[in-house]
Copies of this chain bind each other. A is one copy, B any other.
């Protein structure tokens, strides 16, 4: 079984933005951008992409699936690390080309492959006309060397 979506080109602007038909506007590579946030804290955990199959699997199973652009395949988040994401809510934006996925982050609570809770662990600051990054101090919840060792 897979979930069926509406073809966005069949909808008017009004239907796309104000209607109840889910018509994801996949880009030229067949992807939509997904922002994943943690339900309890509302922290942004990561940004990733889904194709129609990943979106369908996510809605069907209640477990986040993405499309891995680097590996060119469906990516069940946490399949290797154990950090599965349970879907709480999936929202789409006004023009249906972006998704906010609210999840419970299971496992050790690390969504980032570096072992941190979130991929967004550094802030940019500007000094003397140049930007540099400053660590915000998110702890390592696992050691990537242990988790991703083959």
- Interface on A for B, CB 8 Å cutoff? 1, 3-5, 17-22, 33, 35, 37, 41-44, 46-47, 59-60, 89-94, 98, 100, 112-114, 119-124, 126, 129-136
In the bound complex, how far is the Cα of B102 from the Cα of A42, in angstroms?
Answer: 13
Look across to chain B and name the residue whose beta carbon is closest to the beta carbon of A116.
B94
In the bound complex, how far is the Cα of B126 from the Cα of A1, in angstroms?
Answer: 13
User: Which residues of chain B are near A44, meaning CB under 8 Å?
Assistant: 35, 37, 44, 100
Cross-chain contact of A131 among B3, B46, B132 (Cβ < 8 A): B3
Query: Known interface pairs A1-B129, A3-B130. Does A59 touch B92 (Cβ–Cβ under 8 Å)?
Result: no
User: Which residues of chain B are near A35, meaning CB under 8 Å?
Assistant: 35, 44, 47
Query: Known interface pairs A20-B134, A100-B120. Does A3 touch B129 (Cβ–Cβ under 8 Å)?
Result: yes
Query: Known interface pairs A46-B93, A91-B136. Does A4 touch B98 (Cβ–Cβ under 8 Å)?
Result: no
* Contact, CB under 8 Å: B47 / A33: yes
User: Which residues of chain B are near A60, meaning CB under 8 Å?
Assistant: 126
Cross-chain contact of A20 among B33, B42, B132 (Cβ < 8 A): B132
